[in-house]
């Protein structure tokens, strides 16, 4: 490594390897992701205003006051300079103020829960355009996408119309995960028994890659999915193709089978989806023998096992009521339609 030629060769090889890197985070295809990339650049430039002078001055001082430089003005008793103190503390303080202001504005402007107001820098979202709703479920180790408006579902493939705002409603079946499409928007967590949201838009057609950005077990490395940004006509064609899928309907029983851990699952489509499946996934009661999390919370909110909740329970064997295993079940909950909590079978989730 002492040879200059060898060092130059190694540097050239390293540069050649790095030139093949995909800088998708800094050159995305979506308006939200582009604003996030701009925020990274702005923050980096502001910090370099301090970092670069510090590095240069460190090198200058090391050279200027080296042992062999006898002409340097060496003052071992010197300890204070008002001008230097103002510069050393004032410049970083101003940068922190500017950076804090930019971060404050961007944090609210790029809030993942905030509906989009613009398609891109030049176009606002038309008043008549509603966001496409996509329900996302992180499974072990694959992604399930439900299209409630279109009534179809897909595994490991996400199709979106170009230049149309998208609202993702995200949850997980087992452990915490992270949903991330670098081309489109920022990363947001997927958590069981909870729902998070993300708004984004893609501004050019093409095929991109979505990833899991939070380690979730053995199959994590293969937990990727295809993202297709399509023209409106191509998106409608994709929906029509999904409606003709051989897999047919994604029922609750089918979901429980799909939920089982599996690796590198191929793309699959479902022609229809069992009504209420996503809400059952969020409430962890796809298996109807389990009480929904929303019902548990409603019971707790009324006093747990006390006076406020006992009226909503029954000791009758569940099998005689709804064909479930013998256990105490929720017979009814107080709702606007049933304020007294009178047991009504239709209120069971």
CATH of the domain at 27: 1.10.287
Q: What is the mean pLDDT of the chain?
A: 86
Lowest mean pLDDT among 14-23, 143-152, 158-167, 177-186: 14-23
174 and 256 share one domain:
yes
Q: Is the model's pLDDT at 169 over the cut of 60? A: yes
The distance of Cα 59 from the centroid of its chain, to the nearest Å, equals 43
Binned at pLDDT 50, 70 and 90, residue 322 comes out as: very low
The share of the chain scoring above pLDDT 70, in percent, equals 84
Residue 125 included in any domain: no
Tell me the average pLDDT across 339-344: 46
Lowest mean pLDDT among 76-85, 90-99, 122-131, 200-209: 76-85
Q: How far is residue 326 from each of residues 22, 183, 312, 320, measured CA to CA in Å?
A: 57, 50, 17, 8
Q: Is the model's pLDDT at 298 over the cut of 90? A: no
Lowest mean pLDDT among 65-74, 110-119, 214-223: 65-74
pLDDT score for 242:
97
Binned at pLDDT 50, 70 and 90, residue 311 comes out as: low
Residue 55 included in any domain: yes
201 and 278 share one domain:
yes
pLDDT score for 343:
46
Q: Is the model's pLDDT at 323 over the cut of 60? A: no
Residue 117 included in any domain: no
* Alpha-helix residue ranges (DSSP H) falling in the chain: 4-18, 31-64, 82-109, 232-243, 252-258, 277-282, 293-301, 307-310, 318-322
Last residue of a domain, one of 282, 316, 332: 282
Which residue range(s) make up the domain with 310?
293-347
Binned at pLDDT 50, 70 and 90, residue 204 comes out as: very high
Residue 287 included in any domain: no
Residue 123 included in any domain: no
180 and 314 share one domain:
no
157 and 235 share one domain:
yes
237 and 260 share one domain:
yes
pLDDT score for 41:
94
pLDDT score for 301:
78
Question: Count of domains in the chain?
Answer: 3
Please give the residue that has the higher pLDDT: either 22 or 175: 175
**Which pairs with CB-CB distance under 8 Å and at least 24 residues apart come from 188-191?**
188/112, 189/214, 190/136, 190/137, 190/138
Q: Is the model's pLDDT at 326 over the cut of 80? A: no
Q: Is the model's pLDDT at 303 over the cut of 60? A: yes
Q: How far is residue 237 from each of residues 150, 158, 242, 244, measured CA to CA in Å?
A: 12, 14, 9, 11
Q: Is the model's pLDDT at 314 over the cut of 60? A: no
149 and 269 share one domain:
yes
Residue 127 included in any domain: no
State the DSSP code for 316.
S
Residue 53 included in any domain: yes
223 and 178 share one domain:
yes
- Cα 132 from Cα 201, distance rounded (Å): 10
pLDDT score for 40:
93
pLDDT score for 21:
64
pLDDT score for 5:
76
Please give the residue that has the higher pLDDT: either 229 or 328: 229
pLDDT score for 24:
86
Q: Is the model's pLDDT at 341 over the cut of 60? A: no
Binned at pLDDT 50, 70 and 90, residue 331 comes out as: low
177 and 271 share one domain:
yes
Tell me the average pLDDT across 326-330: 49
Residue 258 included in any domain: yes
Domain with residue 202: its CATH number is 2.60.40.420
pLDDT score for 129:
93
Question: Rg of the chain over CA atoms, in angstroms?
Answer: 29
247 and 336 share one domain:
no
Binned at pLDDT 50, 70 and 90, residue 72 comes out as: confident
41 and 158 share one domain:
no
Last residue of a domain, one of 282, 302, 317: 282
44 and 87 share one domain:
yes
277 and 300 share one domain:
no
pLDDT score for 51:
93
**Which has the closest alpha carbon to 175: 131, 135, 138?**
138
Please give the residue that has the higher pLDDT: either 208 or 298: 208
């Amino acid at each position: 490594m002492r040879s200059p030629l060898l060092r130059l060769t190694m540097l050239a090889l390293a540069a050649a390897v790095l030139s093949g890197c995909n800088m998708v985070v800094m050159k995305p295809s979506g308006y939200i992701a582009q604003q996030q990339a701009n925020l990274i650049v702005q923050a980096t430039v502001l910090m370099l205003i301090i970092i670069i002078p510090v590095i240069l001055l460190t090198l200058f001082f090391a050279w200027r006051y080296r042992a062999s430089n006898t002409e340097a003005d060496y003052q071992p008793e010197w300890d204070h300079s008002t001008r230097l103190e103002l510069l050393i503390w004032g410049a970083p303080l101003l940068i922190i103020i500017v950076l804090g202001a930019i971060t404050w504005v961007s944090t609210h402007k790029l809030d993942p829960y905030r509906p989009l107001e613009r398609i891109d820098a030049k176009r606002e979202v038309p008043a008549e355009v509603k966001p496409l709703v996509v329900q996302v479920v992180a499974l072990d180790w694959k992604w399930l996408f439900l299209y409630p408006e279109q009534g179809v579902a897909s595994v490991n493939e996400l199709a979106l119309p170009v230049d149309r705002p998208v609202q993702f409603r995200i949850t997980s079946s087992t452990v915490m995960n992270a949903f991330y499409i670098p081309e489109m928007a920022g990363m947001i967590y997927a958590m069981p028994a909870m729902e998070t949201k993300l708004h984004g838009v893609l501004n050019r057609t093409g095929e991109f890659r979505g990833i899991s950005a939070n380690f979730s077990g053995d199959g994590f490395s293969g937990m990727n999915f295809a993202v297709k940004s399509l023209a409106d006509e191509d998106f409608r064609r994709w929906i029509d193709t999904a409606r003709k899928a051989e897999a047919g309907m994604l029922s609750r029983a089918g979901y429980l089978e799909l939920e089982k851990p599996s690796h590198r699952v191929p793309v699959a489509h479902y022609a229809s989806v069992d009504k209420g499946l996503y809400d059952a996934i969020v409430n962890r009661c796809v298996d109807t023998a389990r009480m929904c999390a929303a019902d548990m919370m409603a019971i707790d909110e009324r006093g747990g096992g006390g006076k406020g909740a006992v009226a909503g329970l029954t000791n009758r064997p569940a099998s005689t009521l709804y064909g479930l295993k013998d256990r105490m079940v929720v017979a009814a909950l107080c709702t606007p339609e049933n304020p007294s909590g009178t047991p009504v079978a239709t209120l069971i989730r």
